[in-house]
A = this chain, B = another copy of it.
């Protein structure tokens, strides 16, 4: 088994209300950043996991997203990168 580093991006699904993004936009406007027209806030997750190969690490990460890391109703996820972890 090898240690792999997996980068995952979880974003609010398009068309779905993003209260956190709206709150950040409001705060930016309050600080004078009036040119900001939209803000979307998602999660960037970096995890390390042991797996037989990169495909196995990617499959496991996808299952982690489907079962825990991403809300299937309001969020989309993307496995950005699977690389051997720095040892």
Contact = CB atoms under 8 A, between A and B. Distances in A.
A11 B44 contact: yes
A13 interface: no
- Summarize A's interface: helix, strand, loop or mixed: strand
Contacts of A45: 24, 39-42
Nearest to A42: B44
What is the total number of copies of this protein in its complex?
Answer: 2
Nearest to A67: B31
B44 A44 contact: yes
Interface string A34-50: 01111111111111111
B49 A33 contact: yes
Contacts of A3: 37
